[in-house]
């Protein structure tokens, strides 16, 4: 294991030893190749640069108390990349090739998987881009699939502590029938301005409303939103929301732990009726929301105690992490134990 200060890692890029690459050309994918370069050599007329033909995933590997490395729900990430690629007319790697490349990237960099209870994990970034010269707006004929990894700390600086978020009423993250439901870079570019404004004002992120009517809760910056009230775990339903694998897992756990699960429209006025609220995703896992500020209406909604995560946020966070780290039996078949 590398001699790093694991407890002081931020959520950012750091160099590891190797990455894994596959190339699509002449109608077929190459076998995974190992590279120690951090650079991609692509044509300046590549479709990823001009027409946004790219998709990516985010996932994590964890080192358990037993020293074994565990990979969380890899197949679901592979399926989501297939869905993203299909929507923006790209040739995606098969589920088998996706998993092979991910596992190989972890194995090559296993010394960077943080130790148990360090508060850090190994973040995995599979990336698919359209390459090759293309002037007209059309799908690329060639693609590169690359998997790189980096040890990371918590996504939000506060870690598992309640944060304040800003309600975004001016800007939209995705069009009603656009690409909000797939994991492509354009969605994140569209939300970047709001995120930066939120940070400048002292908030961890911004919550977007639906882009059609501005009546319902949509995405919570780079994560899904959920609220707890009256024994229910409630999360928005919308075509513009990315189907978070973490949120899907939390819905299963919530039901298993006795909560009713509701995936539906959430009117913005309903926010003040929630007992707890949170943002969830691979990077953050769960980030409890302590306060939502509606700046345009000069209104604040507070959930529970300012510095204390809610009861259900805490229970769900601890349960999911226990499964990811192997501290609890994985009765759902979510974890792959890597034997290397």
**Which residues are catalytic, by number?**
183
Query: What's the N-to-C CA distance of the chain in angstroms?
Result: 13
Are 60 and 123 contacting, i.e. CB atoms less than 8 angstroms apart?
Answer: yes
Nearest-angstrom CA–CA distance, 134 and 14: 32
Look at residues 266, 272, 280, 268 and name the one whose alpha carbon lies nearest to residue 313.
280
CA 109 to CA 151: how far, in whole Å? Answer: 10
> Using an 8 Å Cβ cutoff, are 45 and 134 in contact?
yes
Q: Are 6 and 151 in contact (CB under 8 A)?
A: yes
Determine the angle formed by the axes of helices 245-256 and 74-87, rounding to 10 degrees: 130
Backbone dihedral angles phi then psi of residue 338, each to the nearest 5 degrees:
-95, 125
> Helices 95-108 and 74-87 meet at what angle, rounded to 10?
130
- In 3D space, the residue among 7, 181, 147 whose CA is nearest the CA of residue 78 turns out to be 147
Bin 258: left if φ > 0, else alpha if -120 < ψ < 50, else beta.
left
Give dist(CA 52, CA 140) in Å, integer. Answer: 11
Which of these, 156, 171, 236, lies nearest to 203 by C-alpha position? Answer: 156
């Amino acid at each position: 294991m590398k001699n790093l200060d694991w407890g002081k890692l931020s959520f950012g890029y750091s160099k590891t030893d190797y990455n894994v690459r596959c190339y699509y050309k002449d109608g077929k994918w190459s076998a995974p190749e190992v590279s120690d370069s951090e650079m991609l050599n692509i044509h300046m007329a590549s479709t990823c640069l001009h027409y946004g033909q790219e998709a990516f995933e985010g996932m994590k590997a964890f080192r358990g108390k037993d020293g074994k490395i565990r990979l969380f729900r890899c197949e679901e990430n592979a399926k989501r990349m297939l869905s993203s690629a299909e929507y923006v007319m790209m040739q995606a790697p098969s589920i088998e090739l996706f998993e092979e490349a991910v596992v190989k990237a972890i194995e090559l960099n296993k010394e960077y998987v943080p130790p148990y209870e360090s508060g850090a994990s190994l973040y995995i970034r599979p990336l698919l881009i359209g390459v090759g010269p293309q002037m007209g707006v059309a799908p690329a004929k060639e693609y590169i699939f690359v998997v790189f990894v980096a040890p990371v700390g918590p996504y939000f600086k506060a870690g598992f502590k309640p944060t304040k978020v800003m309600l975004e009423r001016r800007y939209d993250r995705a069009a009603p029938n656009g690409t909000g439901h797939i994991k492509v870079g354009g969605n994140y570019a569209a939300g970047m301005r709001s995120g930066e404004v939120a940070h400048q004002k002292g908030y961890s992120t911004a919550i977007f409303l639906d882009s059609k009517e501005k009546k319902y809760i949509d995405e919570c910056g780079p994560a899904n939103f959920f609220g707890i009230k009256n024994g229910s775990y409630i999360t928005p339903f919308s075509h513009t929301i990315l189907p978070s694998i973490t949120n899907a897992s939390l819905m299963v756990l919530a039901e298993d732990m006795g909560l009713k699960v509701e995936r539906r429209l959430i009117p913005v006025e309903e926010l003040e009726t929630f007992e707890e609220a949170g943002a969830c995703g691979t990077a953050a896992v769960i980030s409890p929301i302590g306060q939502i500020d509606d700046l345009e209406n000069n209104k604040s909604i507070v959930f529970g105690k300012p510095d204390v995560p809610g009861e259900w946020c805490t229970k769900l966070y601890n349960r999911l992490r226990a499964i990811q780290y192997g501290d609890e039996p994985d009765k759902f078949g979510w974890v792959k134990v890597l034997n290397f």
